[in-house]
Amino acid sequence: MTTTVCASWEAPRTGAPGADAGGDNDILREMKRGYTHERYRRIIDTIRHYDPEAAVSGDAIVGFPGETEEQFQRTMHLVQEIGFDVVNTAAYSPRPFTEAAVWEDQ
């Protein structure tokens, strides 16, 4: 019998990024994620530096109130640039008792 050990890393997520993979800092700020897409990218780069074979997954939420096509494309670019092994995607939906739930442009 053999034993395999797997290191686990967790990066902050954006729109979803959990850590979500959001590529637009204005949307990340509106979502109150507490990080920038540059910081997210540095974390992924650091993981891959220490473990080039690391499988990387992430979450992405699109359609946040007021999100423009340009902001959406920034997220798409980041997702493609990172080259996730798995991406969980979701369209924004209002959650009760959140600021964004009552914003226009839903």
pTM given for the model: 0.73
pLDDT value at residue 21: 60
Type of residue numbered 47: I
CA distances from 5 to 2, 8, 24 (A): 10, 10, 35
Which residue(s) pair with 89 in the sheet?
60
pLDDT value at residue 70: 93
At 25-51, the pLDDT tens digits run 999 998 888 889 899 899 889 989 988
What band does 94 get if pLDDT is binned at 50, 70 and 90?
A: confident
Whether 65 and 105 have beta carbons less than 8 Å apart is answered as: yes
26: left (phi over 0), alpha (psi -120 to 50) or beta: alpha
